[in-house]
Chain A
Amino acid sequence: MASTRTRVALLGNPNSGKSSLFNHLTGLNQKIGNFPGVTVEKKSGLCLMPDGNTVEIVDLPGIYSIYPRSLDEQIVAETLLDHDGPTTPDKIVVIVDGTNLKRGFLLLTQIIDLGRPTILALNMMDLAAKAGISYDFNALSLQLGVPVVPIDARKGVGLDDLKKIIVQPLSAPTRKVFDIWKEVEAPINELRAQLEVGNNYEAYQFLEQPASLKFLSKEKQAIVDEIRAKHEFFPGKFQGAETIQRYGFIQDLLNKIILKASDNSWKNDSARLDKILVHKIWGYFIFFIVLFLIFQSIFAWAKLPMDFIDGMFASLSSALSTNLPEGVLTNLIAEGLVPGIGGIMIFIPQIAILFAFISVLEESGYMSRVVFLMDRFMRKFGLSGKSVVPLMSGVACAIPAIMATRTIDNWKERTITIFVTPLMSCSARLPVFTILIALIVPDQTALGFFNLQGLALMGMYLLGFLAVILSAWVMKLLIRVKERSYLIMELPTYRIPKWSNVGITIIEKTKAFVFEAGKIIMAISIILWVLASYGPGDDLNNAREAVLEESKNLRLTEQGLEDRIAAYKLERSYAGIIGKTIEPLIKPLGYDWKIGIALITSFAAREVFVGTMATIYSIGSVNDEDSSTIKERMREEINPETGGPRFTPAVGFSLLVFYTFAMQCMSTIAVVYRETKGWKWPIIQLTYMTFLAYVSAFAVFQLMS
C-alpha cells in the first residue's frame, strides 16, 4: 500500500554530491533496505518540510545516463519507468555538478523527456564561484522548463530554497529535448495504443530497455517484445546518435546561459597531488602506507573496545545464569543467545574503523586513484582495479566486502572477486590465529626487533592473499565468458572529506552488518547450542552421576567438577558424536575428535573455535575468555598415541592453514547466495575452499611430522 506521503527521488552523476545532499536532508533518519526483489541497496529517509509535512527522500544510485551499465544502474531505469511501483517518485531532484554542467545535463535532459515533475539542483556552487563561473539561472529555468536551485550540499547552503520548491505543486515539464527518429514512430504509436505509457520517450525506453521492464506483467512484457520484433527494433541501435543529439542541444544551451566560464585552473592543486599520489614509486609507497595504517588501526585500536564488549557479554552471560531460575530457557539465553549476540557485537569496532577509512578514501577522491594504480596488476589475475576495495574490506569481514563488489560492472570480474574475497583473512580468524600461534611459535625476537609471533601472524595474512591471487588466476582461465570489461572511470578532483558523511557511513554500515549478518549468526549460534547441549539417550542427564562416579577418588574443587561435567556432556552430545564420526577423516591432518568438535562448531563461524576449545578441555564455561588458561591447558594436552603433546608444531600449523583457507562462515555463504542470485556459486566456493583447506592442512602436517 503506497503511503500518501510525497516521495522525492535524488538522481545524479557519481561524485555530484548526491549523498551529501541526501545526508543533509535526512540526517540520521535513514533507512537502508533493498529495492523489491533485488539486492540493490535502497537508501531512503524522511525530511521535514517548511510546511510541516514530511516527505520521503529516496537516494538512487549514481548514474551517467538512463541507459544502465550495471545492476545498480538498472534499478534507476526501472524506478523511473514504473508508474506505480513501491518506489515510484512523485518528484525528481536531479543534482548536477555546478562546476561543469555538460555531463550532468545529459542525464537531466533524459529525465525531462520522460515528463516527470523535475527540479534541477546545481550543486557545488561554492566551488563554481571560487573558479569564477557564473550562470544565468533564470534563462536556464526558462529554457529547460524546470525550476533551478543553486546549492552547496556540503555546507547546506540553498537547501531551504530547495525544500520550498519541493513542497510547491509542480507540473511535469513539457519541453522535449530529443526528437525521436521517424523510423521508431510506428512501434511507439503501437506501444502507446496497447499499453499505458506516459509519453513517447517513455515508450521509446520500453523498446530500448527490455531488461528494465520487470515491473510489467508477463503478458505486457510479451506485448513489448512482440512490437519490438515486428518492427525489427534493436536496443542500443540509436543510443549513440541520441547522445550526440542531446550534447548538441546542451552545447547550445550552455552558450546561452554561461555568463562566465572557468579556465579550470582551480584544479591545479589536484593535478599537482596526482603527480605524487599516482607516481610510479611514491604512488605505491603511499598506498602501502595507507594499507599499513588501516591494518594497524583495525588490530591495534580496535582491541580495547573489543575486549570491553567481550568482557561485558561474558559478565552478562554469567550474571544471567546465576540470577535466572535454572532451566533450559536460562541455558539457551545465557549460553546460546547472549554469547551469540556478543559474537556479533565484538566485530563492531573493526567494522566501524574499516568503514571510517574506506569512506575517507572515497570522499577524498583517493580511492579512484587506488583503482587506477592497481588495475593493471589485478587484471592479470582476472580481477579489476575495482576489486581492491572489496579485498581490503575482506580483512575486516567478508560480508560487507562482498556487498562492495556491486560497483564492478563486468560479470566475470565481479564473480571472481566474490569468489576469492572470503580467502582474505578476516577478523574472525584473528582469535584462532592468536591462540594457535601463541601455542606453537616461541615469543622471541629475531634480528633484534621482529617478534616471531608477529611475523607468523603476518605470514598467515600473506598466505590468504596469495590464495586470493592464485585462485583468481585459475578462475580467470576456467570461466570462459567473452564479456568485455571496462575501466572508463572518472578521477574526481581531490577534496577534503566531509566528516559528517564519514560518520553517517560508519553508522549505516555498522547497522547493516549487525542486522543483516546478525540474524544468521544468531540462528546458527542457537543451532550449535542445541547440538552441543543435547545428545541421544540419557547420557547427558546422567552426566553428573557419571562424572561423580568416575572422579570419586580425585579431590576436585566445585569448579573442577563442573568443568568435568561440561566436558563429559559435550563429548556425548550430538556435536561430540559428529566429532567422533569424522575423526578418521581428519586424522591425516593431525587432528583428534576433540579438534573435530571445534571444526564442526566453527563451521558456522570460525571464531567459535576458541570457545569450543575452552569447553572441550573443561577449563571453564564457554564465556571464560581468559585465553592464557586455554593455552596452558591445550599445551598440556597429551596425544595418547605418541605420548607427546597433542599440539605439536605440525598440528598447530596444519590447523592454522586449515583456518586460513576453509569457508567457515555461514553468513558469507548467505551473502554470496544473495549477491549471485543462486546456490551455484556458494556451493562451488564452499567445495573449493574446503578442498583447499583439507589438502593444504594435510600437506603441512605430513611434511612437518
Chain B
Amino acid sequence: MAGGNKNVAEMQVGEVGIVSGFTDDHLAVKLMEMGCLPGSSVRFNFTAPFGDPVCISVSGYELSLRVEEATAIRILN
C-alpha cells in the first residue's frame, strides 16, 4: 500500500502525523475497525516501560499497540 516513508513506531512522544496507509493488509483491517483510518491524524502519546507496547491517539480513541503493530502504520508528517 502507498504511504510516507515513516511509520508510527518511529515517532517521538508527543509527535503528531497523518495516517497514510498500512504495510500489512491483515493488520490494516483490525486497525481500521478500531478507528485508525488513512487520513486521520495520529498522536504518539507514550510507551510502556522498556518501549513496548506504545499508546497512540487516533480518531479520538486511545489505542495500545505493540511496536510490531505500530510499524505497520505508515504516516506523513
A positions within 8 Å CB-CB of B: 64-65, 67, 69, 99-100, 102-103, 106, 236, 239-240, 243-244, 247, 264, 267, 271, 274-275, 278-281, 283-284, 368, 371-373, 375-376, 385, 484, 486-493
Q: Is the CB of B34 within 8 A of A100?
A: no
* 0/1 interface trace, chain B 21-33, chain A, CB 8 Å (1 if under): 0000111111111
Q: Which residue in A64, A103, A271, A372 is a CB contact (below 8 Å) of B48?
A: A372
A103-B61, A491-B62 known; A375 and B45 CB under 8 Å?
A: no
A102-B60, A103-B61, A487-B64 known; A240 and B49 CB under 8 Å?
A: no
Nearest CB on A from B46, distance (A): 7
Residue from the set B28, B37, B38, B45 with the largest chain A CB neighbour count within 10 Å: B37
Q: Is the CB of B48 within 8 A of A243?
A: no
Closest 6 CB pairs of A and B: A280-B49, A491-B62, A103-B35, A100-B60, A243-B32, A64-B33
Residues of A within 8 A of B46 (CB): 274-275, 278
Residues of B within 8 A of A267 (CB): 62
Q: Is the CB of B48 within 8 A of A278?
A: yes
Residues of B within 8 A of A64 (CB): 33-34
Residues of B within 8 A of A67 (CB): 29, 33
Instruction: Give how many B residues have a beta carbon under 8 Å from the other chain's beta carbons.
Output: 30
Q: Is the CB of A373 within 8 A of B49?
A: yes
Nearest CB on B from A372, distance (A): 5
Q: Is the CB of B37 within 8 A of A247?
A: yes
Q: Is the CB of B48 within 8 A of A488?
A: no
Q: Is the CB of A376 within 8 A of B50?
A: yes
Chain B, 52-71, CB within 8 A of any chain A CB: 52-53, 55, 59-66, 69
Residue contacts A-B, CB under 8 angstroms, 18 given: A100-B59, A100-B60, A103-B59, A240-B32, A243-B33, A244-B38, A271-B45, A278-B49, A278-B55, A283-B49, A372-B48, A372-B55, A373-B49, A385-B53, A486-B66, A487-B53, A488-B30, A488-B69
Residue from the set B33, B45, B60, B65 with the largest chain A CB neighbour count within 10 Å: B33
Nearest CB on B from A382, distance (A): 15
Given pairs A67-B33, A490-B34, A490-B61, 13 additional interface contacts (CB within 8 A): A64-B34, A65-B33, A69-B30, A103-B33, A103-B59, A236-B29, A243-B32, A274-B55, A278-B46, A373-B48, A488-B63, A488-B65, A488-B69
- A243–B66 CA distance with the chains assembled, in angstroms: 22
Q: Is the CB of A488 within 8 A of B31?
A: yes
Q: Is the CB of B49 within 8 A of A489?
A: no
Residues of B within 8 A of A492 (CB): 62
- A67–B59 CA distance with the chains assembled, in angstroms: 21
Q: Which residue in A243, A275, A490 is a CB contact (below 8 Å) of B29?
A: A243
* 0/1 interface trace, chain B 4-35, chain A, CB 8 Å (1 if under): 00000000000000000000011111111111
Residue from the set B27, B28, B29, B50 with the largest chain A CB neighbour count within 10 Å: B29
Residues of B within 8 A of A264 (CB): 60
Q: Is the CB of A487 within 8 A of B66?
A: yes
Q: Is the CB of B62 within 8 A of A240?
A: no
A278-B48, A373-B49, A488-B69 known; A247 and B32 CB under 8 Å?
A: yes
Closest to A65 in B: B33
- A267–B63 CA distance with the chains assembled, in angstroms: 14
Q: Is the CB of B53 within 8 A of A375?
A: yes
Q: Is the CB of B53 within 8 A of A372?
A: yes
Residues of B within 8 A of A236 (CB): 29
Residue from the set A67, A264, A488, A493 with the largest chain B CB neighbour count within 10 Å: A488
B positions within 8 Å CB-CB of A: 25-35, 37-38, 45-46, 48-50, 52-53, 55, 59-66, 69
Residues of A within 8 A of B33 (CB): 64-65, 67, 103, 106, 243
Residues of A within 8 A of B27 (CB): 486, 488
Residues of A within 8 A of B31 (CB): 488
Residues of A within 8 A of B66 (CB): 375, 486-487
Q: Is the CB of A484 within 8 A of B45?
A: no
Q: Which residue in B38, B52, B63 is a CB contact (below 8 Å) of A490?
A: B63
Nearest CB on B from A132, distance (A): 14
- A275–B13 CA distance with the chains assembled, in angstroms: 12
A236-B29, A372-B64, A376-B52 known; A244 and B37 CB under 8 Å?
A: yes
Closest to B22 in A: A240
Residues of B within 8 A of A99 (CB): 60
Closest to A492 in B: B62
Residues of A within 8 A of B35 (CB): 102-103
- A283–B46 CA distance with the chains assembled, in angstroms: 13
Closest to A271 in B: B45
- A487–B70 CA distance with the chains assembled, in angstroms: 10
Nearest CB on B from A11, distance (A): 15
- A135–B6 CA distance with the chains assembled, in angstroms: 36
Residues of A within 8 A of B38 (CB): 244
Residues of A within 8 A of B64 (CB): 368, 371-372, 487-491
- A385–B50 CA distance with the chains assembled, in angstroms: 14
- A267–B60 CA distance with the chains assembled, in angstroms: 10
Q: Is the CB of A491 within 8 A of B29?
A: no
Residues of A within 8 A of B25 (CB): 240
Q: Is the CB of A493 within 8 A of B62?
A: yes
Residues of A within 8 A of B26 (CB): 484
Residues of B within 8 A of A271 (CB): 45
- A239–B28 CA distance with the chains assembled, in angstroms: 10
- A283–B29 CA distance with the chains assembled, in angstroms: 32
Q: Is the CB of A240 within 8 A of B29?
A: yes
A283-B49, A487-B53 known; A102 and B59 CB under 8 Å?
A: yes
Residues of B within 8 A of A368 (CB): 64
- A372–B50 CA distance with the chains assembled, in angstroms: 11
Nearest CB on A from B22, distance (A): 9
- A99–B49 CA distance with the chains assembled, in angstroms: 30
A64-B33, A376-B52, A376-B53 known; A489 and B28 CB under 8 Å?
A: no
Residues of B within 8 A of A486 (CB): 27, 30, 66, 69
Closest to A264 in B: B60
Residues of B within 8 A of A100 (CB): 59-61
Residues of A within 8 A of B52 (CB): 375-376
Q: Is the CB of B34 within 8 A of A488?
A: yes
Residue from the set A247, A275, A371 with the largest chain B CB neighbour count within 10 Å: A247
A240-B29, A376-B52, A488-B63 known; A103 and B34 CB under 8 Å?
A: yes
Residues of A within 8 A of B28 (CB): 240
Closest to A243 in B: B32
- A368–B64 CA distance with the chains assembled, in angstroms: 9
- A429–B33 CA distance with the chains assembled, in angstroms: 44
Residues of B within 8 A of A490 (CB): 34, 61-64
Nearest CB on B from A97, distance (A): 9
Closest to A244 in B: B32
- A104–B28 CA distance with the chains assembled, in angstroms: 18
Residues of B within 8 A of A279 (CB): 49
- A103–B55 CA distance with the chains assembled, in angstroms: 18
Q: Is the CB of A376 within 8 A of B63?
A: no
Nearest CB on B from A229, distance (A): 22
